[in-house]
Amino acid sequence: MRPLPDPDDSSAPFWDAAARGSLALQRCAACKAFRHPPQPMCSACTSFESEWVPASGRARVWSWVVAHPPVLPAFADKAPYNVVVVELEEGVRMIGNLLDGAGDDIAIGMEVVVAFDDAGEGVTLPQWRRA
Amino acid sequence: MAGSLHAMRDVAAIVGIGHTEFSKNIGRPERTLALEAIKAALDDAGLAPSDVDGMVKFTLENTMEVEIARNLGIDNVRFFGDVAYGGGAGCGAVGHAAMAIATGMAEVVVVWRARNRGSGGRPWASKGNRVGGDMQWYLPYGLSRPVDQIAMLARRHMHEYGSTDEHLCAIAMAFREHAQNNPNAMMRTPMTRDDYFGARFVSEPLRLFDCCLESDGGLAVVLTSAERARSLRHPAALVRGFSQGIGPRHTVMTNYFTPDPLDSPGHYAAKDLWNNAGVGPDEIDCVQIYDAFSPLVVISLEAYGFCKPGDGGPFAASGALRAHGGALPCNTSGGSLSEAYVHGMNLIVEGVRQIRGTSVNHVPDCETVMVSSGNGVPTSALVLRRA
């Protein structure tokens, strides 16, 4: 079965928002620094206070790979498949997949926008498409 | 503060090395491998198990101090500990052993690593389908294998600094050349450029020969005081200094979420290593760099200052890493890419051989060796010096 997130106290708001079709980012309520992955404290100012803010949904590809077999059994039917790290406008980075990309035509710096992928079991994964 | 660390310079030494054979299916459990390796290291040192009073291991290690001690008849262990973060731990474990000796907590300390991959599966493979912690951000997207995680960094390094797969090919070929002289090495067939580029992609941009071997085996080293080492049979490999390093905002094995992911844990361990050892990269005669994947060699060469930032690729491809004639002989027994992959313990053992002058690819006048542990993960590094 495909690996799916097991939300914790910090990450639950992210996954809940995704299930509603929204890309949300944790932001420190004290110093307004965005952070991802979500965590209890702000690394910059150590505040425990945070808020959740809708992201613009726009990002650029920071790097990418194409995974070839042998991969985890859950992904075997997709291989070879791409995985990207994107850098959002808000300055944080996320791991995802480019839903409409093959390995040959992904480029670092390419503009992408968020898309939502129903992964089953009530889980929606934020993903990316070319802008 | 740093001054007190200098008090441990050259106070402890590696005096014994031992290991099993390396294979894909060794047919013996990890406990047996550990015992064989530790016994061999003690025999090599000319010490008895009853001499041992300290034990340091990887947190990754499945074997336990109590079963090792019980089997070997070690009746009193006065210092024991383990070092975290997978393959980043090896040099740190040797360093902790050296600290125990320097402080008088123990006199004879063993450090070991035993692995039988069939006995536990790949440690990073998920067991259920729900994944918590840091991996919830990686696994649902299929960025699941260490090779995928490092490949992501490798491509970014290519983008930022212009490193290429030609550079990675040169690294793989150099270490395979070294392995050809090594009867313990798992991969000894010559590798040509066509072999490298003709092999399958595993995670683009990385190909088969960019990836370490999959190995079962056990290795161990024994440390004691430099003073006691003088009465033992081999030239001592003094622990000149060691360091450990975690950089800012770190996450698991690779850290895409920090401002500069290419600012590796090795960059941080490097500063302290040279300060603690009181030597610099120019004084290193031979280097053993953790090579789970070839781009880690590029990144680590830069991190430890063996070349300018961003120059790791061209430097590696210049012939500098070759055991015979290179300016900086590297991974002279074949490394993780061609000898065996046991979380870098074989690199430490080869470092000791170079100090002793017993490597199959001996570096003439080798006096000072640097060893690094896994980069990308919280890391450690070691400088060994001939007594």
Tens digits of residue pLDDT in B156-193: 999 999 999 999 999 999 999 999 999 999 999 999 99
How many A-B residue pairs are in contact by the CB < 8 A criterion? 113
The 10s digit of each residue's pLDDT in A51-60 is 999 999 999 9
Using the beta-carbon criterion (under 8 Å), do B204 and A11 form an inter-chain contact?
no
Using the beta-carbon criterion (under 8 Å), do A6 and B141 form an inter-chain contact?
no
The dihedral region occupied by B35, where left means phi > 0, alpha psi between -120 and 50, and beta the remainder, is: alpha
Q: How many CB atoms lie within 10 A of CB B333?
A: 26
Chain A residue whose CA is closest to B147:
A67
User: What's the ipTM?
Assistant: 0.94
Give the CA count within 13 Å in the CB-facing half-sphere of B232.
28
Q: How many residues does chain B have?
A: 387
Q: Work out the burial of residue B51: count CB atoms within 10 Å of its CB; fewer than 13 is exposed, 13-18 middle, 19 or more buried.
A: middle
Taking CB atoms and an 8 Å cutoff, what residues of chain B touch A5?
130-132, 136-137, 140
Does B145 reach chain A within 8 Å, measured CB to CB?
yes
Give the gap in angstroms from C-alpha B300 to the nearest C-alpha of chain A: 20
Does B249 reach chain A within 8 Å, measured CB to CB?
yes
What is the Cα Rg of chain B in Å?
19
User: Which residue in the block uniquely carries the two structure tokens 């290419």?
Assistant: B262
Using the beta-carbon criterion (under 8 Å), do B139 and A3 form an inter-chain contact?
yes
Does B71 reach chain A within 8 Å, measured CB to CB?
no
Cβ partners under 8 Å of residue B39, min gap 6 = B18, B49, B72
Using the beta-carbon criterion (under 8 Å), do A5 and B132 form an inter-chain contact?
yes
The 10s digit of each residue's pLDDT in B82-127 is 999 999 999 999 999 999 999 999 999 999 999 999 875 555 554 5
Q: Is the pLDDT of residue A18 over 70?
A: yes
Torsion of CA B192, B198, B200, B202, to 10 degrees: 50
Q: Whose CA is closest to A28, among A10, A6, A7, A8?
A: A10
* 3-class SS of residue B9: coil
Whole-number Å distance between alpha carbons of B325 and B252: 38
Using the beta-carbon criterion (under 8 Å), do A68 and B201 form an inter-chain contact?
yes
Q: How many CB atoms lie within 10 A of CB A31?
A: 12
Cβ partners under 8 Å of residue A31, min gap 6 = A42, A44, A45, A47
Taking CB atoms and an 8 Å cutoff, what residues of chain B touch A85?
152, 256
Q: What is the pLDDT of residue B124?
A: 57
Contact B317, B167 (CB under 8 A): yes
Taking CB atoms and an 8 Å cutoff, what residues of chain A touch B202?
68
Q: Which residues pair with A94 in a beta bridge?
A: A86
Using the beta-carbon criterion (under 8 Å), do A4 and B203 form an inter-chain contact?
no
Chain centroid to Cα B242, Å, comes to 13
Tokens of B55: 């034990």
Tokens of B121: 């599966």
- Following DSSP, what letter does each residue of B294-318 receive, concatenated? HHHHHHHHHHTTSS-TT-HHHHIII
Whole-number Å distance between alpha carbons of B35 and B37: 5
> Which residues 89-128 of B are in CB contact (within 8 Å) with A?
125-126
Q: Is the pLDDT of residue A102 over 80?
A: no
pTM of the predicted model as reported, rounded to 2 decimal places: 0.94
Angle subtended at Cα A33 by Cα A30 and Cα A36, rounded to the nearest 5 degrees: 125
Low-confidence ranges of chain B (pLDDT < 70): 1-5, 120-127
